């Protein structure tokens, strides 16, 4: 009896670690991932509570206190209309974070659908969709986004739509390749043999088994999406000038170059958020693709 219990306890020792244990192990090995998660979570929290914690309304003008440097009264100074930069930076998180996430969600969903259809349908449909994908990839993507936003008219929604329009091709290519691999599996044949419809097989049997790499790519892409949105705003193809969007605030700050607080703080807000998502993305890539660690 005792020998049986000793065997079972030694077996327990070799049990594979739980997900929580694995996560703790990877976080210890990649402290920057933990830092990235903390910074990103902090910004997301700020986006939720900005109305409660911002000292003043982001659009409230105070001409008597215009262009004040950072100090006790105004933590990050004020802009040319006396608006509090600190409050505007906090409120800016409510624009930039949802915009970046929306670009990724819309772009990746569209790309996944196109890639899945191309891979599953094959033949002429596959050729047509893949050539279309290559066409979109022939443009430097921000340039194409600029052209689309200019055609649609500059505002936040159109900037997000324009970025999503140029974001999908990478996802389409990845999904197509994965669907081609998965559709040859036996369980897909089994689904065919029980008479399941093509739509059901594609979106209920095949796609769920290919989605993980697209989700990882999406995580890696969030930082780039935020940077791209900020770039569009910076050149005037995003929200209106009075908006507390970070890229737009930097753009307006150029005209007040000596009042460095006008462009530095919103710029650092973008950099910290993008860096946080890059830390997370890098860590995720290291964990999932050990070859890139060079070990």
Which residues form the interface with another protein (CB under 8 A)?
Answer: 131, 134-136, 138-144, 146-148, 150-154, 223, 227, 230-231, 234-237, 247, 250-251, 253-254, 257-258, 260, 263-264, 267-268, 270-271, 274-275, 278, 291-294
Residue with tokens 């893949």: 130
Cβ 172 vs Cβ 118: under 8 Å: yes
171-184 burial, b at 16+ Cβ within 10 Å, e below that, comes to: bbbbbbebbbebbe
Long-range contacts of 160-163 (CB under 8 A, 24+ apart): 160/99, 160/102, 160/103, 160/106, 160/229, 161/106, 162/232, 162/237, 163/103, 163/107, 163/225, 163/228, 163/229, 163/232
List beta partners, residue 84.
78
For the bound state, the minimum distance from the C-beta of residue 139 to another protein, rounded and expressed in Å, comes to: 5
Cβ 277 vs Cβ 44: under 8 Å: no
Nearer to another protein, 89 or 179 (CB): 89
Contacts of 198 (CB under 8 A, 6+ apart): 120
Q: In which element (H, E) is residue 63 found?
A: none
Nearer to another protein, 86 or 261 (CB): 261
Full DSSP string of 156-175: HHHHHHHHHHHHHHHHHHHH
């Amino acid at each position: 009896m005792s020998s049986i219990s000793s065997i079972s306890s030694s077996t327990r020792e070799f049990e594979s670690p739980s997900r929580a244990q694995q996560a703790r192990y990877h976080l210890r090995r990649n402290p920057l991932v933990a830092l990235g998660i903390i910074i990103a979570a902090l910004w997301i929290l700020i986006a939720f509570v900005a109305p409660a914690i911002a000292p003043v309304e982001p659009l409230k003008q105070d001409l008597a206190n215009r262009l004040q440097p950072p100090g006790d009264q105004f933590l990050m100074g004020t802009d040319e209309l006396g608006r509090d930069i600190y409050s505007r930076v906090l409120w800016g998180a409510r624009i930039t974070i949802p915009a970046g996430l929306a670009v990724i969600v819309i772009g990746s969903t569209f790309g996944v659908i196109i890639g899945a259809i191309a891979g599953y349908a094959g033949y002429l449909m596959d050729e047509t969709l893949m050539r279309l994908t290559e066409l979109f990839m022939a443009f430097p993507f921000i340039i194409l986004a600029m052209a689309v936003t200019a055609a649609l008219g500059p505002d936040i929604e159109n900037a997000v739509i324009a970025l999503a329009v140029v974001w999908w091709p990478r996802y389409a290519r990845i999904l197509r390749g994965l669907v081609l691999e998965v559709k040859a599996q036996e369980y897909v044949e089994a689904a065919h043999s029980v008479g399941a419809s093509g739509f059901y097989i594609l979106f209920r049997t095949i796609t769920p088994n290919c989605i993980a790499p697209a989700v990882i790519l999406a995580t890696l892409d969030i930082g780039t999406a935020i940077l791209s949105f900020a770039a569009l705003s910076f050149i005037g193809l995003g929200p209106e000038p009075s908006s507390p969007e970070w890229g737009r605030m930097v753009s307006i700050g150029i005209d007040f170059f000596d009042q460095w607080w006008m462009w530095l703080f919103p710029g650092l807000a973008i950099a910290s958020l993008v860096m946080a998502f890059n830390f997370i993305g890098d860590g995720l890539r290291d964990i999932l693709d050990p070859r890139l660690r060079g070990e």
